[in-house]
Structure 1
Amino acid sequence: MRLSRLALPVLAFALALGVSAVTASFAVRLVEDASETEVRAALDREGIDWADVDAYGLQVYLLGTAPSEADRFRALSTAGKVVDAARVVDDVNVAESKPLAPPRFSIEILRHDSGLTLIGLVPASTDRAALVARAQEAAGEVPVSDLLEVADHPAPEGWRPALGAAFDALERLPRAKVSVAAGQVTVKGAAESEADRRRLEAELARAAPEDVSLALEISAPRPVISPFTLRFVKDASGARFDACAAASPEGRDRILRAAAAAGLEGKADCRIGLGVPSAQWPDAAERALGALDRLGGGTLTMTDAEIALVAQQGTDPERFERVVSELASTLPDVFALDAVLPEPPGAAEGEAGPTEFVATLSPEGAVQLRGPLASENARVITDSLARARFGSEAVHTSAEIDPDLPESWQTRVLAGLEGLAELERGALVVTPAGIELRGETGNAEASAEIAALVAEKLGGTQGLTLDVAYREELDPEAAQPTPEECVANLQGLLDGRKINFEPGSATLDSEARLILDDIAELLRRCGAIPLEIAGHTDSQGRESMNLELSQARAQAVLDELRNRRVLTASFRAEGYGESEPIADNSTEEGREANRRIEFRLIRSEADEPLESGAADGQEEPAGEDADTGGANEG
């Protein structure tokens, strides 16, 4: 009985304890769920979608991988605003940060009359002192402003050759803006003339490394074209321009479209220049070209404000009168029209054969003059002009005197000889009916220049027949040798000759200076080529002194070439001392062979003087062996 009375209170206490535990557990679960829900909602509102939440008791665990340390801190702060920060357990990982991308290295080089400025960001591996020194060499006596910044990143691929191409352009252009980036160079500048612009663009494009993208924006002042000339021929062989001038690109395009409508095929162009006689020049050209097309062929010559329209033989007279009348009524007032319908074939039947003065120019430059001239004085003048234009030794004159020649005969002969002098080889025929010039030239503008010259001398080009062919192999710019050909030519020039120095010094002897005159003449024709001048010695003496001597001798050769006005921006002098013998140093003959100067074509961007660090490329000497010249120690 007594035990029963004790069991009831114990049972009741146990029951109460169980109820309390269940109640407490339920309450904790409510707190966990509420904390987890509220924290998750707060994170969602802040856009923190990478974090996960897990509550255990009063503690709230933040899980997941934060993109950055800042994102992790923001998530903890957001959770700490919902529940007591002491209850928040940080179980967040932070993603590994990506390496910083290297900056874009670039330089803007501004060159003008008062100085040269370097602006931009360069890699730390760039030899800044050498860069500024190279800039000062290009600038000459004007100051160089160094506004460069440096970043400690490796130089990107293509950086060094781009620098070399940039400074090559700077040495050629007295006023320019050159933009340099890895593998890219943009050159904006001004040339003195259109011919100079074409030459500069050809040289820069030829000298640029293959792995450098070169953009050229070189302007040139428009030339003064006098007389302002257009000559268009349409005959059985087709339609062509012998000369074409325009005052603007828009005017040029209008003229070319009208020429195409009149039968011109293929590529053609008009020189753009100053001196146009009227702003209505394109209007007059369009109308005159249309009239020539309606006639079916002939020759159109516009010389300043004078227009000469010569129809083909056999043109219907009624059509000729109608077309000429329409053209005359529609031409702008400033232009004067002279239209000619040649006599039909057979009109002059029974007359003697035509009188002809003939001048021939051979490929070797020899000139033969034969045919009638009006007087002995005319013969002397003709012979003197030919000798002045072609050289005294090249001209042979065999002219007879005929006082019955036309009054304009002598003027035609002299104008024709001036035109012949614009050709590399060809022939001139002067008849009472006109002038005929045929030949070949390396000047793409020769036809236009000859037409303008004849028009100026004769007051027009009526009776002028031009058949001038442009040959690229005769163009001194287009036919410029390749770098490989230049170094091969150097080897041939130095065959059996040697660049010698005074004993134990870097002073060239008198014979070496004469050799360098010939080398300079050859290199000026080559333009800018990547060339190394390598100095070598024998093994006598200390190695360090031999290295210094070889460097000094290579530099002496470079300086002498520079003094002879050779473009040396792409050259470098390098001394190798006794390290690269080509013969046995134990004999006098071997030592003599080892004392030498070599000219090597640089095949890669390695060892660029503007960049510090070891070279990873190599140079190739000309020819089968390395020796293209020598330097004697005495």
Structure 2
Amino acid sequence: MPTARRRLSTSLATIVILAGGAGLSWVGAEAAATYLEDRAARDVTQVLAAQGHDWATVEADGLLVRLTGTAPSEVDRFRAVTQAATVVDAGRVLDRMTVASVEAMTPPEFTIELLRSDRGISLIGLVPASTDRAAILRTLRLGGGEVTDLLEAADHPAPEGWDAALSLGLQAIEMAGQSKVSITPGQVRVAALAADRADQGRLEAALRQAAPADLTLDLQIAAPRPVIAPFILRFAMDGDGARFDACAVDDEAARDRVAEAARSAGMQALPDCVLGLGVPTEDWADAAVAAITAVASLGQGQVTLSDTDVALVMPAGVDRARFDMVAGQLEGALPPAYRLEAQLLEAEAAPVPVAFEASLAPAGSLSMRGRIADAQMRQAVDSFARSRFQVAQSGLQTDPQVPGGWTVRVIAGLEAMDALQSGQVRVTPDMIALSGVSGDPHATDRAAALLSDRLGAGARYELTIGYDRRLDLALGLPDGEDCVARLNLIMSESEIGFEPSRSSVAGDPAPTLARFSRAMQDCAEFQIEAGGHTDSQGSEGFNAELSRSRAQAIVSAMDEAGIDTANMTVRGYGESRPIATNETDEGREANRRIEFRLLSPHPVRSEALPAPVVVSGVTGEIVVPPPPDGPPPAMAGAMQGPRMPPVMGPVMPQAMGPMLPEAPAQMQGPQLPHSRDASGMVPMTVGVSEEFQTLEAREESLRVPVLDADPATPRPGARPASVAGRTGAAEEPTDE
């Protein structure tokens, strides 16, 4: 029995020991597995957090590591898996991550591209579903032409700034001709081609005025380069330094070369060369650089390039040998198509006391006085002046002693006045002085080119032309009436009100003041009255004072907002000027208003116009080749320029019968135009730039030759007897 009991005890002990060992092993295994899982999860989490993948969640399941979460993109998901594989074996990483939908995160980019051509308008792009596409097409079809709709719609809300940009873009495509308009929320980009510089300024001004303050407007409006004829460049050096009186180039490379040559000659300022069409040859820049270098080598003088004619003019006092050497070098450096005329001026002679003066008023009326050759030339000058200006007074006097070519100089002076809005010209035998004000920043260049084209070489001139930006059509500045209309429109659309029977402003005036500020940027120089008006409720004196106080409150608010109100005045009209009946609420509401009125159309200048630069020079010669049969007779010593045929009288037979009276001289050739054509353009002037013979030469042509009889002169035979008898019966014989 004891043996059996001992054997049972041993078995039970063995079982207990084995069970305890197994239990301890299981507990140890669980602890080890948990430790490994926690460590793997912790290590992977730390690595992902260090790389910025905080969106990922790490779960450990035994030896496996499960990654969950929503990755911003597929790239981020792949990077998270790669980083986890650096901590644990890649085979133990389970990818349970998802990628966020791109469509759900990024709204569509709404845009419209409008392209306008001669065939019509096309639209392409993506718009919100709420956009009224039918209204857009109706608006575009009002301008005529075919409209091609290639728009697509997306069911997303319209972003901020979309409606304002769409409205401005439709206005832009209607204003511009051939253009491309790109519309995005809060931004409009306009690329267009204007007819000329003035049209470019008007279009840019209109678009900027129509653009809201919170919208970005990108304008890329270009104007074609002007056609310059003659293509002219004039460089001069004197005691005041080096300068350009006129500068025309065909491209940017030529402009850079000319500017570099001018800097080498000592010119400090950057030349304002005009890029234009009409260059006579491709090597214009070579000729210009050579001419500038020639003047710089002499240290004074002037050179003029007019198309392919080059005139080098040096003042008296330059060494003749040095002048001849430089002129020869310049002639050799010029391209083959260019012709050089070099002139060294002699000492100035005493001026002839003959003058012609003309004054152009700002309103456009012209007054003339001075000397002219004869009645025919006076009629020619009058006709030319009336074709260009409104002639208010013509006090021209005939003077046969005027120098040759005088009429051509007078016509040239009047023609140069086309560059002015107001001013005067004085023509003397040795100088044409033009002064005045113009709205063209290149008026001096225009006047110099006109004088050079009309007079040829050797004519001295002095130009004193000031620039007034108010007269520049290219800037599109408003006049006084436009300014007042803008202010009244802003006031009518504003939400500014007043407390009942008080002058205190009710409502938020900031938006209206912001519009006032933009409108007054180019209008502060005009005298404008802010007038207050009320309805008929209350006494007349109270209403007058109330209206004045309210108008003053508006002007004071404008002044506090930084708007220049120095030229604005205030007046209260009370109930004296109603615009509607005071019997209804609507009428009384309309009568309670602030109205702006223009006091004077002339701006008040706070600063004087910049002093004009005096430009003096000598015109370049335009060489006219002689006809094949040689130069015309008896005119070689006269002034350069196209010539008129000589005035010839009738050829009378030799002394037979009584002397006939001299026939009046008739001016040959076409006559001057007297008026503008239907298009408003001044027709080409023909017949006034030709040189005419002097009065003595014309009189010589009109004389009838008388010859004395000699023994060889043929004589009539004896009369028939019948004729002699009748004559003897009728007359008494006389003795000689």
The aligned residue for residue 298 of structure 2 is: 295
Change (3 A) 1:589 1:371: farther
Distance 2:30 2:272 in 1: 92
Q: What amino acid is aligned across from residue 376 of structure 1 in structure 2? A: A
Change (3 A) 1:399 1:149: same
Cα distance, 1:254 vs structure 2: 1.8
Cα distance, 1:41 vs structure 2: 12
Q: Are 1:418 and 2:423 an aligned pair?
A: no
Distance 1:69 1:376 in 2: 94
Cα distance, 1:200 vs structure 2: 3.0
Q: What amino acid is aligned across from residue 226 of structure 2 in structure 1? A: P
Distance 2:157 2:131 in 1: 9
Q: Are 1:156 and 2:159 an aligned pair?
A: yes
- Give the greater-gyration-radius structure (CA): 2
Change (3 A) 1:40 1:141: same
Change (3 A) 1:37 1:490: closer
CA contact (8 A) 2:254 2:285 kept: yes
Distance 1:424 1:249 in 2: 31
Q: Are 1:215 and 2:181 an aligned pair?
A: no
Cα distance, 1:315 vs structure 2: 3.1
1:473 is paired with a residue of what secondary structure? helix
The aligned residue for residue 7 of structure 1 is: 9
Q: What amino acid is aligned across from residue 164 of structure 2 in structure 1? A: P
Distance 1:103 1:208 in 2: 25
Distance 2:301 2:26 in 1: 115
Greater Cα shift, 96-105 or 401-410:
96-105
CA contact (8 A) 1:584 1:590 kept: no
Cα distance, 1:358 vs structure 2: 1.5
CA contact (8 A) 1:246 1:270 kept: yes
For residue 339 of structure 2, the aligned residue among 336, 340, 345 is 336
2:145 is paired with a residue of what secondary structure? coil
For residue 115 of structure 2, the aligned residue among 110, 116, 137 is 110
1:244 is paired with a residue of what secondary structure? strand
The aligned residue for residue 128 of structure 1 is: 133
Change (3 A) 1:67 1:381: same
Q: Are 1:21 and 2:23 an aligned pair?
A: yes
Q: 1:311-364 CA deviation, whole Å, 9 max, x = no partner?
A: 23433434323322221221122111122222235xx3xx46542212122334
Distance 1:412 1:586 in 2: 66
2:105 is paired with a residue of what secondary structure? coil
The aligned residue for residue 386 of structure 1 is: 385
2:404 is paired with a residue of what secondary structure? coil
Change (3 A) 1:266 1:96: same
Q: 1:128-161 CA deviation, whole Å, 9 max, x = no partner?
A: 3333333333xx2212222222334443343333
How do 1:33-432 and structure 2 match up within 5 A? Answer: 50-55=56-61, 62=66, 65-67=69-71, 100-137=105-142, 140-344=143-347, 348=349, 351=350, 353-392=352-391, 395-432=392-429
CA contact (8 A) 1:36 1:55 kept: no
For residue 464 of structure 2, the aligned residue among 459, 463, 467 is 467
CA contact (8 A) 2:422 2:438 kept: yes
Q: Are 1:439 and 2:436 an aligned pair?
A: yes
CA contact (8 A) 1:451 1:461 kept: no
Greater Cα shift, 152-161 or 60-69:
60-69
Q: What amino acid is aligned across from residue 141 of structure 2 in structure 1? A: Q
Distance 1:146 1:316 in 2: 76
Distance 1:97 1:431 in 2: 86
Q: 1:108-128 CA deviation, whole Å, 9 max, x = no partner?
A: 111112121111122344333
2:9 is paired with a residue of what secondary structure? helix
Change (3 A) 1:45 1:297: closer
Change (3 A) 1:390 1:406: same
Cα distance, 1:55 vs structure 2: 4.0
Q: 1:494-522 CA deviation, whole Å, 9 max, x = no partner?
A: xxxxxxxxxxxxxxxxxxxxxxxxxxxxx
TM-score, structure 1 as length reference:
0.67
2:447 is paired with a residue of what secondary structure? helix
Cα distance, 1:211 vs structure 2: 3.3
The aligned residue for residue 448 of structure 1 is: 445
Over the aligned positions, Cα root-mean-square deviation in angstroms equals 4.5
Change (3 A) 1:127 1:16: same
Cα distance, 1:280 vs structure 2: 1.5
Distance 1:173 1:204 in 2: 10
TM-score, structure 2 as length reference:
0.58
CA contact (8 A) 2:438 2:467 kept: yes
Greater Cα shift, 406-415 or 471-480:
471-480
CA contact (8 A) 2:351 2:429 kept: no
Distance 2:117 2:332 in 1: 53
Change (3 A) 1:202 1:60: closer
CA contact (8 A) 1:472 1:479 kept: no
Cα distance, 1:39 vs structure 2: 11
Cα distance, 1:38 vs structure 2: 10
Aligned residue pairs, count: 497
Change (3 A) 1:55 1:360: closer
Change (3 A) 1:476 1:401: same
2:407 is paired with a residue of what secondary structure? helix
The aligned residue for residue 559 of structure 1 is: none
Q: 1:520-566 CA deviation, whole Å, 9 max, x = no partner?
A: xxxxx99xxxxxxxxxxxxxxxxxxxxxxxxxxxxxxxxxxxxxxxx
Change (3 A) 1:589 1:376: farther
Change (3 A) 1:109 1:222: same
Distance 2:117 2:138 in 1: 17
Distance 1:323 1:195 in 2: 43
The aligned residue for residue 642 of structure 2 is: none
Cα distance, 1:424 vs structure 2: 1.4
Distance 2:161 2:417 in 1: 49
Q: What amino acid is aligned across from residue 281 of structure 1 in structure 2? A: W
Change (3 A) 1:311 1:160: farther
CA contact (8 A) 2:439 2:467 kept: yes
The aligned residue for residue 579 of structure 1 is: none
Cα distance, 1:252 vs structure 2: 2.4
1:412 is paired with a residue of what secondary structure? helix
Q: What amino acid is aligned across from residue 361 of structure 2 in structure 1? A: S
Change (3 A) 1:130 1:234: farther
CA contact (8 A) 1:33 1:55 kept: no
CA contact (8 A) 2:359 2:423 kept: yes
CA contact (8 A) 1:375 1:402 kept: yes
Cα distance, 1:373 vs structure 2: 0.6
CA contact (8 A) 2:57 2:67 kept: yes
Q: What amino acid is aligned across from residue 19 of structure 2 in structure 1? A: L
Distance 2:367 2:481 in 1: 39
Cα distance, 1:286 vs structure 2: 0.9
Greater Cα shift, 144-153 or 263-272:
263-272
Cα distance, 1:204 vs structure 2: 3.4
Cα distance, 1:107 vs structure 2: 1.3
Cα distance, 1:218 vs structure 2: 3.1
1:421 is paired with a residue of what secondary structure? helix
Q: What amino acid is aligned across from residue 18 of structure 1 in structure 2? A: G
Distance 2:91 2:243 in 1: 88
Distance 2:38 2:588 in 1: 90
> What runs of 5+ residues in structure 2 fail to find an aligned partner?
490-521, 524-576, 598-736
Q: 1:566-600 CA deviation, whole Å, 9 max, x = no partner?
A: xxxxxxxxxxxxxxxx999995487656679x9xx
Distance 1:68 1:453 in 2: 71
CA contact (8 A) 1:301 1:462 kept: no
Change (3 A) 1:37 1:280: same
